[in-house]
Chains A and B, each alone.
Chain A
Amino acid sequence: MEMTEKKLQTIFDQYPAKVQKSRKKHIIIKNSELESQEIEANTRTIPGIITNRGCAYAGCKGVVLGPIKDMVHIVHGPIGCGYYAWNTRRNKAKSDDPKHNFINYCISTDMQESDIVFGGEKKLAKVIDEVMEIFDPKCITLSATCPVGLIGDDMGAVAKAAEAKHGIQVLSFSCEGYKGVSQSAGHHIANNILMEKVIGTGDQETAPAKFPINLLGEYNIGGDGWEVERILKKIGYHIVSVMTGDGSYEALKNAHTAELNLVQCHRSINYIAEMLETKYGTPWLKVNFIGIQGTIDSLRNMALYFDDKELTLKTEVVIASELARIEPIFEQYKKICSGKTAFCFVGGSRGHHFQNLFAELGMETLLAGYEFAHRDDYEGRQVIPTIKPDADSKNIPHYVAEVDEKRFRLKVSPEKMLALKARIPLGQYNGIRYDMKDGSIIVDDMNHFETEEFIKLLKPDLFASGIKDKYVIQKMGINSKQIHSYDYSGPYAGFNGAVKFAEDISMGFASPTWNFITPPWKDQPLLEGTVNEEGVA
């Protein structure tokens, strides 16, 4: 069913006037005849609307910091914040030094009423002392939660004192849940401090191997990062650091030695990508390792950047061998998925990336969007100069890195850079709108009401979203796929990931359970059946 402005209006009409006015700016129907289509994004959530969004703490501790396995992450707050971000996001990590792999631990100051009244600084300092005694980490992070900012605890001072006392880095993150309007503020807060205090503090001047790269905005959900690393290593790249899935403090410190930064999740890590370029002269390339073609394109773009004959050859050899292996299997699943339609609504990145995989499986994405992306993720980075920070976001500090006089080095000449930029997305991201079909819907901060309404109007065969939506959608008899947690499966990135995803989606479509939803007595008249020896005739 074609979506029209008129049908869209039937949804808006059900809102109170004020809500209607606001929501209209967050939904567009893709029209390529228009040069640009402005969408409102990264603005405050409407109270009571039933949003899918989380908070700045989740974006900082839950997303960016949490996966760094050899740091101890202390949550300064009442118990809930620490508890809910404990092992729930599937950022996998393994370590040769299990005594310093803290990935399965949840450490909280467990603030009590007295801490709210008299302040929690002393308790925080004591918790740091205990963590040092028990775990002996090389770095500790402190994450603030809602009440911390309100009662005026000076976490920065506690961190400074602890650094002096224990001789390790103690990083303080003011990621109170009410900062900004979503998880996004937390990404920015985390990026600032990691860049200012960790990245580039290592003593390596050059990488120990050829073709050194960093993988940015890859959190190794279900092993995604490991699959990408597998492919990259096979081709001959040296991975200096991953930010931050299976990431480590030591690797982060030497991230400045890379020759190229790959950006998978633009939203959460573009700040660091930009700052690495400013400070060390290292360009970044937008990659997408979700989907077969996305993976191939990303690999070829990397080869173009490094412009090395052997590397280019190896790139093609690896692509060919991987394709030969996976294509026959992928084709089997394509038969099941082809012709079906999908919705794709995820955080700040996958709402775009997974559309590639759907397309490769012969599925059309009718609707897509993000919880907390900014206009550049929708419309492309070229709109950044036109984005006006509003009252809710302008309090997020914007750290600006300066040129490192000693280590700054242009990795490619300005002329070559210009030529490359014409061919590959160096320092550029085109946004979700660029790749969507005309007539498809783009929704920002979609709420429960709109979820139900769009499903009724467009009747998708599959809805890719998160856990809060999953069972709502399934109750409607529609196949629902989590693409935050991958429904505990994965990896979904890279070549193996594409096959795994295809298998999982197909399993969802092919499951016999959908056939049992209607009981037989609901579609058979009461008086016609007769019972014989084999049961009901």
Chain B
Amino acid sequence: MLDCTPKEITERNSGGIINPAKTCQPIGAMYAALGIHKCLPHSHGSQGCCSYHRMHLTRHFRDPVMASTSCFTEGSSVFGGGANLKASIQNVFHIYKPDVMAIHTTCLTETIGDDVSSIIKTADVAEGKLVIHANTPSYVGSHITGFSNMTKAMVSYLAESTSPIKKEQINIIPGFVNPGDMREIKRIVKSMDIEYILFPDTSGVVDTPMTGEFQMYPEGGTTVEQLKDTGNSKVSLALGRFASSDPADLLNKKCKVPVVTLKTPIGIKATDALLMTLRTAFAHEIPKELEVERGQLVDIMTDTHFHFHGKTVAIFGDPDIVTGLTEFVLSLGMIPIHVLTGTPGGSSNSVAGSFEDDINAMLKPTGIQANVKSAGDLFTLHQWMKNQPVDLLIGNTYGKYIARAEDVPFVRVGFPILDRSVHSYLPIVGYHGAMRLVEMISNALLDRQDRDAADEDFELVM
């Protein structure tokens, strides 16, 4: 497996990538748009992009992923896609009847410079129907940037501040996480008895029940009314700097809603920070229920610490997720020695800080010497692992090739996971999510110990 990857690392400075740890913007925008109720995402570009993005999301969620496309031909690529987009808007509302069309762009339409907002203004949009758009050039940032850009579009098109006095409610931008995570975040906020608007929200959209009927627009998704009302909230919580800071900041600029940016609440520290922020912002006590959950998590961490303490780990994936995971494995006593994301740190005009700085700041007090890289690829990660082997690899499905090549236990976390099911329903965030991560990590390590043990060392109780 991956036999062409040499152990010896030669410097690569072409800017090319071998085995990416990211993909392009529009898929993130499509995913974000699915988090609006009765919305059809629309890809303004040639149709290949749209098919690829739908396929990929479908494979991760094992649920229908609907989106339309402008279907560029060579002619429209040369003369502009205005006619294609107008025809799309007309056909989509006539045939598929969404309430909202959320348009994103591709490298094609960005390169030719289609002015999407002008095209929308001159398009025939029926009364009561909405068209929003985000520019999502594939040659900037990654799918996380695309998610952030479409979430910004929700703010720029919809958020309104209609009263000088803010409501006792909180906006939460969950970042590029699974519907299971979004449900868990909502459960936590609800249990604190706080009014909230979570956006985008794909729970109930890409984790729909089997009923014998296909629903083009499932019950989930943040409603347009809610999106408008985000301008009236007391505070916005951006969970994950890369995916969520920019839209929250835009909302602050547009509607004067102050922002608190936190890590994606993976693990005990980040979840504590989330609860403390909610507690402070609304002067609500943390309910007993959450305190018990936390105590259970600490109990489990204590019970199992010897499974993973001192074990080395390599982590890759999207920056917000990897940051959270790194913090959590540190709190378990593990040693992250390779930490990598494909997303470049701090894209243009973004307030998202440097991934490498974030990770290094966490590692510094521990004295761990680690390879840390943003805008990296899995070829690099694999070479690092050949030179400094690890006890565990954590990342998305693409990691399975490296895990097999190096015979390393592997835990699937992040996006995409294409070769296992159920993952998108269950959280990795919050105390419950942390319990699940502990279970996944210790299972992987103990399964390996069982596999490798001599008969006489094979244990009943571990």
Interface residues of A (CB under 8 A from B): 14-16, 19, 44-58, 74, 77-84, 86-88, 98-102, 104-113, 115-116, 123, 126-127, 129-130, 133-135, 145-147, 149-151, 176-182, 391-392, 395, 448-449, 452, 466-468, 470-477, 517-518
Is B45 a contact of A476 with CB atoms below 8 Å?
Answer: no
Neighbouring A residues of B26 by C-beta, 8 Å: 80
A-B contact count (CB 8 A): 264
> What are 12 A-B contacts defined by CB distance under 8 Å?
A47-B91, A48-B92, A78-B24, A80-B24, A81-B52, A83-B20, A87-B398, A107-B17, A116-B107, A177-B48, A475-B210, A518-B212
Of listed B4, B58, B77, B92, residue having the most chain A CB within 10 A: B4
Known: A19-B91, A468-B58. A177 touches B15 (CB 8 A): no
Is B211 a contact of A135 with CB atoms below 8 Å?
Answer: no
Known: A84-B23, A146-B107. A134 touches B6 (CB 8 A): yes
Report the bound CA distance from A448 to B40 in whole Å: 13
Is A102 a contact of B56 with CB atoms below 8 Å?
Answer: no
Neighbouring A residues of B76 by C-beta, 8 Å: 178
Residue of B nearest to A519 (CB): B211
Neighbouring B residues of A102 by C-beta, 8 Å: 4
Is B59 a contact of A146 with CB atoms below 8 Å?
Answer: no
Known: A44-B71, A48-B87, A471-B58. A104 touches B1 (CB 8 A): yes
Neighbouring B residues of A518 by C-beta, 8 Å: 212
Report the bound CA distance from A458 to B381 in whole Å: 52
Interface residues of B (CB under 8 A from A): 1-4, 6, 10, 12-20, 22-24, 26-27, 42, 45-49, 51-56, 58-59, 62-77, 84-85, 87-92, 94-96, 106-108, 110-112, 137-140, 142, 208, 210-215, 342, 348, 379, 398, 401
Known: A50-B66, A80-B26, A178-B77. A127 touches B16 (CB 8 A): yes
Residue of A nearest to B23 (CB): A83
Neighbouring B residues of A448 by C-beta, 8 Å: 66, 96
Query: What would 19 more interface pairs be, CB under 8 Å, given A105-B379, A115-B139, A177-B46?
Result: A48-B70, A50-B66, A50-B96, A53-B51, A80-B27, A83-B22, A98-B3, A112-B139, A113-B139, A133-B10, A134-B10, A177-B45, A177-B48, A177-B49, A392-B73, A448-B96, A467-B55, A475-B211, A517-B211
CB distance from B105 to the nearest CB of A (A): 11
Is A471 a contact of B77 with CB atoms below 8 Å?
Answer: no
Is A177 a contact of B95 with CB atoms below 8 Å?
Answer: no
Of listed A47, A56, A58, A87, residue having the most chain B CB within 10 A: A47
Report the bound CA distance from A145 to B139 in whole Å: 12
CB distance from A103 to the nearest CB of B (A): 10
Is B214 a contact of A476 with CB atoms below 8 Å?
Answer: yes
Is A178 a contact of B73 with CB atoms below 8 Å?
Answer: yes
Q: B89 contacts which of A48, A83, A179 (Cβ < 8 Å)?
A: A48
Across chains A and B, which 4 residue pairs bring their CB atoms closest together, nearest first?
Answer: A55-B48, A80-B24, A48-B88, A126-B14
Neighbouring B residues of A123 by C-beta, 8 Å: 14-16
Report the bound CA distance from A413 to B227 in whole Å: 75
Neighbouring A residues of B107 by C-beta, 8 Å: 77-78, 80, 111, 116, 145-147
Neighbouring B residues of A471 by C-beta, 8 Å: 58, 62-64
Is A126 a contact of B139 with CB atoms below 8 Å?
Answer: no
Residue of A nearest to B17 (CB): A110
CB distance from B102 to the nearest CB of A (A): 13
CB distance from B84 to the nearest CB of A (A): 5
Residue of A nearest to B139 (CB): A78
Is A106 a contact of B48 with CB atoms below 8 Å?
Answer: no
Q: B210 contacts which of A177, A179, A474 (Cβ < 8 Å)?
A: A474
Of listed A111, A134, A473, A475, residue having the most chain B CB within 10 A: A475
Neighbouring A residues of B49 by C-beta, 8 Å: 55, 80, 177
CB distance from B340 to the nearest CB of A (A): 15
Neighbouring B residues of A47 by C-beta, 8 Å: 68-71, 84-85, 87-88, 91
Is B75 a contact of A391 with CB atoms below 8 Å?
Answer: yes
CB distance from B209 to the nearest CB of A (A): 9
Report the bound CA distance from A52 to B66 in whole Å: 11
Report the bound CA distance from A448 to B217 in whole Å: 13
Report the bound CA distance from A27 to B137 in whole Å: 36
